[in-house]
Structures are given as structure tokens and as C-alpha cells.
Amino acid sequence: MSGINEFIDNEVKTNDVVLFMKGTPQFPQCGFSGQVVQILDYLGLDYKGVNVLADQEIREGIKQYSNWPTIPQLYVKGEFVGGCDIVREMFQSGELQSHLQDNGITTRGAA
């Protein structure tokens, strides 16, 4: 495993919720990343944002790691959940909230 894959693997496995995104949670630099940040913030989640724009190796490495061609990418408890469209659809249907709760992650408004 290359150094960048080890870095990505460590981030994914040591953070309950991690978002590989363009920009930061405080300052998203693309609309798709911004949408996922809005959803995670709305749910009151504690998550780590990794800015792929800060390092080209991470930007390319995360696509290989997940075998998914686009960014943002959301991981929950070490598992790839999806990109913007999937996260948005899961949120709208309530599936994202259930998935988080099934993994022991508390969301705002959860019992």
C-alpha cells in the first residue's frame, strides 16, 4: 500500500464520519461538496473534512481507493457511502439518518 493509500485508509478507519471534499467544511469550494456539508451540518454530525484540493495525491488517491470517479466522497465507520447525489437521496428518504444510527452515530433530533 502506498503512502497516500495508507493516509486515506487511516483517515477512513479512525474517523467515524469523514468527507473527502473540495475545500473545507467551513469553506466548501464546489457546489457538490457544499451540499453534502449542508446535510451533515443539518444532521448535527461531528465529522472530519479532508480537502482534496490541498494535495493532488489525495485528490487522485481517493478516487482509486474507493473506485469512485468523483468528489465529494462520504465514509461512515470505514465504509464508502457515496457522493453528493447518493448522500442527498439517502438524506431525503431518511436512509442516511437510519444508516448513521445503525452505526451508532447520533444525529440531531435522534432519540
Q: Is the pLDDT of residue 111 over 60?
A: no
Strands 17-21 and 48-51: parallel
- pTM assigned to the model: 0.94
18-39: pLDDT as tens digits: 999 999 999 999 999 999 999 9
The confidence score (pLDDT) of residue 2 equals 78
Which domains are seen in the chain, by residue range? 3-103 (3.40.30.10)
- Spatial contact of 107 and 44, defined as CB atoms under 8 Å apart: yes
30 is in an annotated binding site: yes
DSSP element (H, E) containing 57: helix 56-66
